[in-house]
Structure 1
């Protein structure tokens, strides 16, 4: 299942939902798709969606998905990486009125360079990026908290 999440920012990001709807309609995406649309105006016709999920539902949906397609918010990205999911991040861009600046592009760019995810700015490139994500072996994300806990456990076990 492909899970799309667009966060809770009060800015629409319809371009991603529209492109995925088009791809599902023409058979470019054959998997089940579910989206948390946030404050988007567009309502998908060819896959299920809801405006918001509760925290438990959100985490469960990420756990069940094979691929997470998310906006460039750090919370959604980290939720996917911590569960070792394949992540495609589409940063919200100021040019499209999706945010006040391009900080998401900067964050996603760094994570993509380090091999944690795939960054897509132009949603028309999504089909190739989905195939790339399915074939890629991403770097495993380890949070600083997890690393500290592991070091302490190793020290205690010695």
Structure 2
């Protein structure tokens, strides 16, 4: 099994802890590779901070199950390798990301049946247990044409998110500048 939290600088301790607890119970039944990024994962066997692109592709190709964060590229890669990814989106309320775009994106894909969305520990454990019993439950047929269409859609969503984040940062910057100018004008009165 491969679990990938991505490379975002925000820790994703919630998912890492859930996986560590689940793996402690399943023990030797599951060989786990956990790409944990900037999250501490000392207690988890098979934990590695980062995997290069090639190593991540190989791990996805060899995995029976893929668990990942709600990053569009990771989800798309998992599907390209024939997996219906089990997705736990990062939640900004826990300091796991700057906004809720992963939640919104993962929920939309969950509704469309393109991911197995798990927003609670119980949902994740149920999905993992079901996947252990029948790994084919989380398999999808590789379809190069569909992959190209999905890649284009993911790229578009990524561009929209980047544009919205940039606009939001620009608005905050303009507001800070306006406030500084206003304070300066008030001080000069």
Corresponding residue of 1:41: 40
SS across alignment from 2:37: coil
Q: How many correspondences in the alignment? A: 145
Q: Secondary structure at the match of 1:35?
A: strand
Give the conservation status (yes or no) of the 8 Å contact 1:23–1:29.
no
Q: C-alpha displacement at 1:129, in angstroms?
A: 1.5
**TM-score, with normalisation over the residues of structure 2?**
0.69
Q: How far apart in 2 are the matches of 1:80 and 1:86?
A: 7
CA RMSD of aligned residues (A): 2.3
Q: 1:84, 1:35 → 2: CA distance? A: 19
Partners of 1:137 and 1:24 in 2: CA distance? 19
Q: Which has the higher helix share?
A: 2
Normalised to the residue count of structure 1, the TM-score between the two structures is 0.81
Describe the shift of the 1:29–1:16 C-alpha distance in structure 2 as closer, same or farther (beyond 3 A).
Answer: farther
What corresponds to 1:17 in structure 2? 16
Change (3 A) 1:94 1:137: closer
- State the partner residue of 1:8: 7
Deviation at 1:39, TM superposition (A): 0.7
- The higher radius of gyration belongs to 2
Which structure's residues are more often strand, by fraction?
Answer: 1
Residue 88 to residue 79, structure 1, CA distance change in 2 (3 Å)? same
Measure, in 2, the Cα distance between the counterparts of 1:101 and 1:49.
26
Deviation at 1:86, TM superposition (A): 3.0
User: Which 5+ residue runs of structure 1 have no aligned equivalent?
Assistant: 148-158
Q: CA deviation at 1:138?
A: 6.0
Alignment of 1:1-158 (within 5 A): 2-27=1-26, 30-45=29-44, 47-133=45-131, 134=135, 136=137, 140=141, 142-144=146-148
Taking the aligned partners of 1:37 and 1:20, their CA distance within structure 2 comes to 11
Output the CA distance in 1 between the equivalents of 2:19 and 2:81. 23
SS for the counterpart of 1:108 is: helix
> Aligned equivalents of 2:107 and 2:100: distance in 1?
11
User: Within 2, Cα distance between the matches of 1:125 and 1:82?
Assistant: 24
CA distance in 1, matches of 2:28, 2:122: 13
Higher RCO, 1 or 2 (CA under 8 Å, sep at least 6)? 1
